[in-house]
Amino acid sequence: MPRADRPVTLEDVARACGYSRATVSRVVNGQSSVDPTIAAAVRDAIRRTGYSANAAARTLAGGSARIVGLVFAESFRELFQNPYWGEIVEGLSATLGEHGYRETFLVRDRRADLDTALAQGSMDAVIIMSPMPDDRLETRLLRGGTPVIVFGQPRHPRRTPSADIDEEATGALAAATLLERGCRYPVIIAGRADMQVSARRVQGFIDACTRAGVRVEASRVADGDFTLAGGARAAAHLMAGRRRVDGVFACSDRMALGALQALHALGRDVPQDVAVVGVDGTALGEQAQPRLTSVGADLPGLGATLGTLTLEALTGAPVRHAVLTPHVVRRQSA
């Protein structure tokens, strides 16, 4: 492995994978003439060493690419179906565009595309939009010299700027909304277990309930995968049997809409029988029947903040962290 005090080079990658520098270079440049098995071994070595094309070398070769990569855990379909991301990217794109930068989308289920883009150094900076609990991408980018910004809580807060929503407060506000209605038997539809944002919202909700003397057992929590269909499945599961339920906290508006569908199919009135609270506060909640009460934040403003932090990182400004305060969007479901 290369020393931590110098950039990773093509020679380091070549030593790590056992192939020539020329072969590594062809893989980095996306040439299709390399045997797929060899290319896979080279990409694995790139991941292990943390190699990325040096930004200074890119400048000497002809200047900045003026491209910022946005890395998502979600698939492209999930991204474009969810107005939550649309509102954030709207603010982000406007801020970057004012300074001549444009964004490119990268998703983790197309890992080869992500590895190639990082290795080629075709991006001036990268924003990790969906950090995972065991994420190593941030560390890899820092080792390779690429400016990195995190939406959420960074692994290396002294080196990585971030913009975040107080997700524990999000969960606590949802709990308070249900508790104010007299709910004492809530259930939780969590998102993906491998995403930190879901765990933080759930923990905030449970802590607030505990402080109010309401216990939320593990059996009253089900994953909904941040999708409408997942929310419907989770709600049906949680309502099954003889379990008493008078409130539902869904960790996204899409899952909350799925829960409303499941409750309607079961003949349960919302909010008379069961109150429902989602998270995001987007216009999606206006389409629900009844209209969805949700915990939201200034999403375009959040995107603009991510854009500003990116521009600061590109100029070498001191690392800083911004945290937005959530608020309740009161409608009809709770």
CATH of the domain at 283: 3.40.50.2300
Is residue 99 in some structural domain?
A: no
- Of the candidates 190, 200, 202, 277, the one whose C-alpha atom is nearest the C-alpha of residue 226 is 190
Is residue 328 in some structural domain?
A: no
Looking at the predicted structure, is the pLDDT value of residue 32 above 90?
no
**Average predicted confidence (pLDDT) for the chain:** 87
Is residue 324 in some structural domain?
A: no
Q: What is the mean pLDDT of residues 5-13?
A: 70
Phi first, then psi: what are they for 257, rounded to 5°?
Answer: -65, -40
pLDDT on residue 74: 80
Is residue 130 in some structural domain?
A: no
**Least confident window among 19-33, 88-102, 262-276, 302-316:** 19-33
User: What are 110's two structure tokens?
Assistant: 């197309």
CATH of the domain at 43: 1.10.260.40
User: What are 320's two structure tokens?
Assistant: 């800083």
Question: Which pLDDT band holds residue 5 (cuts at 50, 70, 90)?
Answer: very low
**Domain region containing 27:** 1-51
pLDDT on residue 55: 44
pLDDT on residue 63: 54
Is residue 209 in some structural domain?
A: yes
> pLDDT digit string (tens) for 112-133?
677 777 777 778 899 999 877 6
> pLDDT digit string (tens) for 67-111?
899 998 888 888 888 889 999 999 999 999 988 899 988 886 666
> pLDDT digit string (tens) for 238-267?
999 767 999 999 999 999 999 999 999 999
pLDDT on residue 60: 41
Question: Which pLDDT band holds residue 226 (cuts at 50, 70, 90)?
Answer: very high
Of 51, 72, 92, the last residue of a domain is 51
Is residue 131 in some structural domain?
A: no
| Cis before 271 (ω within 30) | yes
Looking at the predicted structure, is the pLDDT value of residue 57 above 50?
no
Distance (Å, whole) CA 195 – CA 273:
31
Distance (Å, whole) CA 152 – CA 276:
25
Domain count, the chain: 2
Is residue 256 in some structural domain?
A: yes
pLDDT on residue 188: 98
> pLDDT digit string (tens) for 162-216?
999 999 999 999 999 999 999 999 999 999 877 889 999 999 999 999 999 999 9
Question: Which pLDDT band holds residue 53 (cuts at 50, 70, 90)?
Answer: low
The one-letter amino acid code at 110 reads R
User: DSSP class of residue 292?
Assistant: P
Residue 104 pairs in a beta bridge with 69
Of 11, 32, 51, the last residue of a domain is 51
Residue 242: CB atoms within 10 Å: 4
